[in-house]
Chain A
Amino acid sequence: MLSRVADSIYWLSRYVERAENMARIVDINLLLILENQLVGDEQWEPIARITGDWDYFSHKYGKTTRENVVEFLTFDMDYPSSILNCIVKARENARSIREIISSEMWEQINKYYLFLTDPASKVDAINSPSEFYHQVKLNSHLFFGITDAVMSHNEGWHFHYLGQMIERADKISRIIDVKYFHMMPHVKDIGTTYDDIQWTYLLRSASGFEMYRKVYQKMLPEKIIEFLILDANFPRSIVYCINKANGALHAISGSKEDSFQNKAEQILGTLRSELVYTDVNQIISLGLHQFTDSFQDKLNILGDSIYETFFAITNTNNQTFKEHAE
């Protein structure tokens, strides 16, 4: 498969997954705000913060009002990770590889884009946010469902899956961080009803509430953390995503899963071992925020190594041409 094409399909899926997770983050916070009227606009600050782009936000928007944060995370074309920007970029990637992906995948990306650019969407995002963000999630689900059902599970598909899983792992860690940001200013809330509610919403934002209940019944913070980070069967846990990403990476190279042939496999294999052989107590004693922070750094290193292993195009043509021209 062409390096350029693999690069595009990988980022196509990363952006669609990113849009979905952004919708999850906004949605959970909307619900949290309804549970606790007292905090008002302040409550919006954590979501603007977990993006890691607080400076951009505060500089451009100033106040953390509902309207500003919704605009920022959903429609801001200057903000690289806004939902709309993700889908615009997903669509650009899809457009350049239309002969690789199926027509149905292209149609879905297009519909997704038209849904977001419809002027009515801006109104809906403010007036009926629950429904709006639900639609965003469904659009991403539909894309991945179609991709799974109609595209051959060949090399290109594995690049899609690799992108989707890495993106999801990254965003799950950020969603877990929302909890950290919410807790920080209100240590007194720990152990209260409100704290329980926050944990519930954390699970809900990963669609994990019901699945968690089936395993643990009781709402125990350490169990929830264990579930979202280390559960091997829950599809939005970090370990699950890393396992699947590892499988996809090895399917691409054809090497055995317990060995490595290239830098990307080595880095992902190491990261996976660390996760699989850790337990929740170690994570908690390290500190949840420290854990997610360091995990995100490692994912960035992994992303770089995937780029170098598969996508980097040696620009031989231009070099030879320049030499020749001189």
Chain B
Amino acid sequence: MIDKALVFSSTTYRKQCIGLTPPKGIWCHITGTDLVRHQDGTFYILEDNMRCPSGISYVIENRQITKRTFPQLFGSLKVASVSDYPSRLIDMLQYIVSDKTSTPTIALLSPGVYNSAYFEHSFLARQMGIELVEGRDLLIKDDFLFMQTTKGLKKVDILYRRIDDDFMDPRAFRNDSLLGIPGIFDLYKKGHIALANAPGTGIADDKAIYAYVPQIIKYYLGEEAIIPNVPTYICSDPKQMNYVLGHMDELVVKAVDESGGYGMLMGTSASKAEIGDFKLRIQENPRKYIAQPTLNLSRVPTIIDDHFEGRHVDYRPYIIYGKDIYVLPGGLTRVALTKDSLVVNSSQGGGSKDTWVVADQEPQC
């Protein structure tokens, strides 16, 4: 169904994970899938985030602000709550190791204060009442993972890790990583430590693999995908590449393994030089690129200085997979604050908005 070569050539493919069965058979414990609404009114899946999706702290904090700012309006609507996300998250984490211990020690592994998502790591650790650890707080002894405390070593049962696979274990993955814990992948394979999300899930974030998700759903579940993908041209296929090269000015070209709005070209607004540059890049390394038609992302009213203007948005709901699958009734709406921009990433100056899932209303007079 998927070309083997496509999988093996992915930069997020981890051959170390062959034969691995994660605890309870769950790989993607936390998913944040990006959705957009096109001018045809349909929601499309724009991309998958199966590694360490971030942004949930903004969802919860934005809601706090709305409730404080518009208590009356908010009170008159039946808005589904997002505030129990941390409880759902910790329930899931406990569930993963529930056959080993009923009182697991859970820790959130962060790269540290200089990471752009550090606020969120700290926020979630605080909300869940778990330790926020860095690689330097941890060590492996007698084949188990311990954190160094004021009262000696304390065993850790599960890590909610907010570090990419690459950096988790310099012995198994990137050997120049200073953030990880050497040997932790071996412990994981032995079942001595649980990790959420499992290593290796990044393969699904590859934007070329993404194109196959509807077929994967059909093959394994015998169902049609409920929310369609954005049509995607995979440049490693020569025919599709030729099409892309001939229609650069109307497509969005993206590097398959980059995120945060990096490594992309908006063909409709790009200069000739930029297009030429990307053409070369595609021809040099077709596997690295995909292209999609330019979607006209829906707009929402946004306060710009002292008045409202329309700004493009996308939407990321969060899904937790533990004992059950839980879809947060709400999510992160990201706003491209620059006029007419379609790039919503916060790393590119995007903002965010509180997003309500409203229950059916009584008819109003």
Q: Interface of A with B (CB < 8 Å)?
A: 1-6, 92, 95-96, 98-99, 155, 159, 252, 310-311, 313-317, 320-321, 324-325
Contact = CB atoms under 8 A, between A and B. Distances in A.
A323 to B, nearest CB: 10
A290 to B, nearest CB: 35
Contacts of B133: 2
B285 interface: no
Contact of A317 (B112, B119, B126, B136): B136
Nearest to A159: B150
Interface stretch (B15-23, B175-183, B196-204, B254-262): B175-183
Contact of A325 (B113, B125, B131, B175): B175
Contacts of A159: 150
A132 to B, nearest CB: 30
Nearest to A158: B150
Contacts of B122: 98-99
Contact of B149 (A2, A96, A316): A2
A311 B148 CA distance: 9
B233 to A, nearest CB: 42
Interface string B103-136: 0000000001100000100110110000111111
Given A99-B122, A99-B126, A3 B148 contact: yes
Contact of A1 (B119, B126, B150, B183): B150
A99 B134 CA distance: 13
A159 B112 CA distance: 22
For the complex of A and B, the 10 pairs showing the least CB-CB separation, nearest first, are A99-B126, A99-B125, A321-B182, A98-B122, A316-B139, A310-B150, A99-B122, A6-B150, A3-B148, A99-B132
Count class of interface residues, chain B: 20 to 34
Contact of A324 (B123, B147, B171): B171
B48 to A, nearest CB: 29
A324 B132 CA distance: 27
Given A252-B150, A313-B148, A317-B182, A4 B134 contact: yes
A314 to B, nearest CB: 7
Contacts of B175: 325
A310 B149 CA distance: 8
A6 B149 CA distance: 8
B137 A3 contact: yes
Interface of B: 112-113, 119, 122-123, 125-126, 131-141, 147-151, 170-171, 175, 181-183
A95 B149 CA distance: 19
A2 B137 contact: yes
B148 A2 contact: yes
B83 to A, nearest CB: 16
B275 to A, nearest CB: 43
B182 A324 contact: yes
Nearest to B180: A317
17 contacts: A2-B133, A2-B147, A3-B149, A3-B150, A92-B113, A98-B119, A98-B122, A99-B122, A99-B123, A99-B125, A310-B150, A311-B150, A316-B139, A317-B138, A317-B139, A321-B170, A325-B175
A38 to B, nearest CB: 51
A313 B148 CA distance: 7
Contacts of B134: 4
A318 to B, nearest CB: 8
A314 B132 contact: no
Contact of A98 (B126, B136, B137): B126
Contacts of B138: 317
Contact of A314 (B126, B139, B171): B139
Given A2-B131, A4-B136, A96-B113, A320 B150 contact: no
Contacts of B182: 317, 320-321, 324
Given A96-B112, A321-B171, 13 more contacts: A2-B137, A2-B149, A3-B150, A4-B137, A92-B113, A99-B126, A252-B150, A311-B150, A313-B136, A316-B139, A317-B140, A320-B140, A320-B183
Nearest to A7: B150
Nearest to B182: A321
Contacts of B123: 99
Contacts of A310: 150
A4 B148 CA distance: 8
A155 B149 CA distance: 11
Contacts of B183: 320
